[in-house]
Structure 1
Amino acid sequence: MSGGEFLWLVVGGGVGAGARYFLDGLIMRGRRDAFPLGILVVNVAGSFALGLLTGLSPVVGAVWLAIGGVGVLGGFTTFSTVSVETVLLRQRGRAQWAWGNLLGTLGACVVAAAVGLMIGGVFAR
């Protein structure tokens, strides 16, 4: 990866993080102490997009896969926020929501990534 391509990866990470902050804020506006639906939506959408991009990797190439996957989508999705939100839900006495957040995020993201890979693989042929 060249220096210019690496710079695009770094910029992509910033764009992804900004998009996560914006989308989460938009979904969670006025929903204080509620189930963290915004981060769930972000992670499921990001998992689908990474699966799609990975499925398309023969067409887009390794450099753009890294820029889009590691940079943009790496900045967009967040496991650390899921972890913190799960612990906070448990601390607030919402154990069922905590388990739902943890297992629901995992299951939904894996399914979304699989669907994205499948669709990307079809278009890459």
Structure 2
Amino acid sequence: MIAVWVALAGSLGAVVRFVVDSALRARSGSSLPWPTVLINVTGSLLLGILAGAVLFHDAPTAMLTIAGVGFCGGYTTFSTTSVDSVRLIVARRYAAAAAIAFGTLATTLVAAAAGLGLAAVW
């Protein structure tokens, strides 16, 4: 039964990502994929908080599985970051591609750590 909840949460996460990404892209005049970066950072922060709730506050592991694997897995989109980076390389925007690829990696790691830290002190 947990697999059904994970699938439902993943579906919801993907829909939320699509809505947020579409809304941000419509408002952004930038050719850089900042909405994708923002989605990945916020998803990593949420995943850190969820993991911290389980580690530090005895929250049920099923919550982490459903919300973390399901929702956050559907919400975040590292494959899109890869495609966006390749598109920038093809457009010969090498610095932008490196900034998106490595910047996303760095900021998502910091966001996940921040989420763990927030959960630890809460």
**In the aligned structure 1, how far is the partner of 2:75 from the partner of 2:17?**
5
Q: Deviations over 1:18-71 (max 9, x none)?
A: 111111111111657700011000000000000011000143211111000000
Secondary structure in structure 1 of the residue aligned to 2:116? helix
Q: What's 1:28 paired with?
A: 25
RMSD: 1.4
Deviations 1:58-117 (A, max 9, x none): 432111110000000000001111100000011011111100100110111011111000
- The equivalent of 2:50 in structure 1 is 53
How far apart in 2 are the matches of 1:32 and 1:9?
A: 35
Amino acid at match of 1:11: L
> Aligned residue for 2:94?
95
Question: 2:3, 2:92 → 1: CA distance?
Answer: 44
Partner Cα distance (1:95, 1:20) in 2: 26
Q: What count of residue pairs does the alignment treat as equivalent?
A: 120
Unpaired segments ≥5 residues, structure 2: none
Counterpart residue type for residue 76 of structure 2: T
Q: Does 1:106 align with 2:105?
A: yes
TM-score by length of 1: 0.90
What is the alpha-carbon distance in structure 2 between the residues aligned to residue 31 and residue 121 of structure 1? 35
Instruction: Give the AA of the match of 1:118.
Output: G
Structure 1 partner of 2:115: 116
Q: Secondary structure at the match of 2:58?
A: helix
Match of 2:9 in 1: 12
5 Å-filtered alignment, 1:30-45, equals 31=28, 34-45=31-42
User: 1:33 and 1:118 mapped to 2: Cα distance?
Assistant: 32
